[in-house]
Amino acid sequence: MPVSKQKKGTFTLDDAYHRLAADCWSYGATDSDEEQMYRMGKGNHGQFGRCSTCPDNVGYPQPSAEGNDWRHRSGKNSSVCAIVVKKSDGTFWAWGGNSHNKLGMEQRGGWHRSSPSQIPGDWCDVALGHQSGIGVKCDGTLWTWGYGNHGQAGLWCSSGCQLCVHPGCTYTNQSYSCKLQVGTQTNWIKAHGGYHQNFAIRAGNCAYSFGYSAHGELGVHNTTYYSSPVQVGGSWCFIKGGYPVVGKKTDGSHWVWGHNNHGQLGNNNTSNYSSPITLPGTWIHVTDGGQGQQAMYGIKNDNTLWAWGHNNHGRLGINCTSNKSSPVQVPGCWIYVDSGCRHVVAIRNDGTAWGWGHNTTNQRFHCSGMDFSSPIQLPGCNWKYVLGGREGTWLFTCGRRLVDDDCRCVITQ
């Protein structure tokens, strides 16, 4: 429900309810629903709105040059920092690293974007993978673009016939310069880009995956690569990730699968799994294990934060660097967590932000350039949620509860 803007500093009962439910109440001359985006880290590919070649290292949150009209974070990239964000008017914008044309601008050359550029089309959901993009248009069709070397383009055929099927699309170095429709179905509702695979949800909460699966990342009981969508059994709210993968079913349970060399599946071993296995406990938020980081983080219903998997640079936040194949608790009361390649930023229930892990050359969360194996507090307050990139982090102020993990149950068409 939108927040009333009839009177500044005056709230209806519904306004108060939603602010309290979001654990974030503020009062001031401007309406508290306004959301500002901050950035910190390394902007060497323009992901912080600066020139595309300067390092732009920032060791503390600074207001982003991209303004304050952003309402939903939609995608992040692992190899080269890039970001896709949805504006309050429903349009999707992208900037940062653009290798293989993964930002979806339909240009030849893949130049980086140092300022927000609108993704052409009428989109309901857009996300970035490692070197490719995927999106659902508002007519329910599914589209992919960028790198397609492992079948993540989802086009049913090899590169030789793809040029014939899509004669207006250039194909060089296994990259597509234009958006390509996946199949003819019109009931897709959500998409997520993995490391070298893609995931998408149809009406009725049916999930599909395609692309790279050497460790069982597609979740379909084998390690076969698929160049067209294959169904993942179950009723799903979302599936996302790469190394490993996590999904949430409509009954609220969380499931994990795929690569497990450092215990990142959290099941007390290091064996890979090509079928979903349950993640014990009741969770309100679990990171996707993206960025090739081989670690996972989750917040349970009691607002406790847990971490497991690879622990180089102290990325698990437990004051050591030993890997953990079962979840271990990070002390405190938390509402949101996200990770970059080897660093983590999380938000406590009092609105403060904390970071730990890899911090070399001031790229991430602290000016010292030192790694931290325990959480340290970042400047500012009233933080609402965080988006971790490979070499940087975006922080968002109070205003709107993140809906990324909400289950969008839809009547089967």
pLDDT at 384: 77
The model's confidence at residue 294, banded by pLDDT at 50, 70 and 90, is confident
Establish if 301 belongs to a structural domain: yes
Residue 349, domain member (yes or no)? yes
SS3 164: helix
- What mean pLDDT do residues 88-92 have? 84
Domain membership flag for residue 131: no
Q: Is the omega angle on the peptide bond into residue 116 within 30 degrees of 0, that is, cis?
A: no
Task: Return d(Cα 235, Cα 208) in angstroms, integer.
Answer: 11
pLDDT of 209 > 90? The answer is yes
The residues near 227 (Cβ < 8 Å, ≥ 6 apart) are 151, 153, 154, 155, 156, 157, 158, 210, 211
Q: What is the mean pLDDT of residues 7-21?
A: 47
pLDDT of the residue at 402: 42
In tens, the pLDDT along 162-197 reads 443 455 565 555 677 788 889 899 999 999 988 889
Q: Domain holding 336: CATH number?
A: 2.130.10.30
Confidence of residue 404 (pLDDT cuts 50, 70, 90): very low
d(CA 72, CA 123): 13
Angle at 208 between CA 202 and CA 214, to 5 degrees: 165
Task: Give the mean model confidence (pLDDT) for residues 142-171.
Answer: 67
Do the domain assignments include residue 199? Answer: no
Give the tens place of pLDDT for each residue, 70-89: 555 555 544 446 778 788 78
**Pairwise pLDDT comparison (267 vs 112), residue with the higher score:** 267
The answer to whether position 223 is within a domain reads: no
390 DSSP assignment: S
Residue 322 confidence (pLDDT) above 50: yes
Q: Which range marks the domain in which residue 374 is found?
A: 13-42+283-405
Confidence of residue 161 (pLDDT cuts 50, 70, 90): very low
Three-state SS at 14: helix
- Domains held by the chain: number: 1
Taking Cα atoms as reference points, which of 133, 79, 39 lies closest to residue 291? 79
Question: What's the mean pLDDT when you consider all of the chain?
Answer: 75
At 323 the pLDDT is: 95
Residue 4 scores a pLDDT above 50: no
Which phi and psi angles does 203 have, rounded to 5°?
Answer: -55, 140
Whether 152 is covered by a domain: the verdict is no
Does 290 map to a domain? Answer: yes
pTM (two decimals): 0.79
Question: Quick one: pLDDT at residue 12?
Answer: 55
Q: In what order do the strands lie in the sheet with 236-241?
A: 236-241, 245-249, 254-258, 273-278
Is 186 among the domain residues? no
pLDDT value, residue 270: 96
